[in-house]
Amino acid sequence: MLNIEFEPDNQSEPCQCCGGLTTSLTRFVYNDNNAYAIYYAKFSNNHPERVVVATVSLGEWGEDSTPAQRMRVTLPLCGLRPILFKRLNDLRC
Ligand SMILES: [Zn+2]
């Protein structure tokens, strides 16, 4: 059974370009109480790009594990449709 541990939301200082706030989320995913994945999400409340950038990391999380045993993918999400392999500056949501 998957369980998700929610860390408190983190908000940035006001953005220098627009005064908006960026919210960062960190979530830990456990499968039968074993570390399974971590995902991060970040979004701004005032930027014209209406996008949530999510990074998901999966793999081995034991004490002896190394980063080489994990994989990571970053998904810019626009309207719940992931857009893969695009630079953030190229997004038009
Ligand atoms: Zn800004």
Report the pLDDT value the prediction gives residue 92, as an integer from 0 to 100: 52
13 CA distance to ligand 1 middle (Å): 10
68 CA distance to ligand 1 middle (Å): 34
64 CA distance to ligand 1 middle (Å): 40
Distance, CA of 70 to CA of 81 (rounded, Å): 24
pTM of the model: 0.72
59 CA distance to ligand 1 middle (Å): 34
45 CA distance to ligand 1 middle (Å): 9
**What are the tens digits of pLDDT across the range 36-93?**
999 999 999 988 878 899 999 999 988 899 999 999 999 888 865 444 444 545 555 5
Strand segments, DSSP code E, in the chain are: 2-6, 10-11, 22-31, 34-44, 52-59, 70-78, 81-82
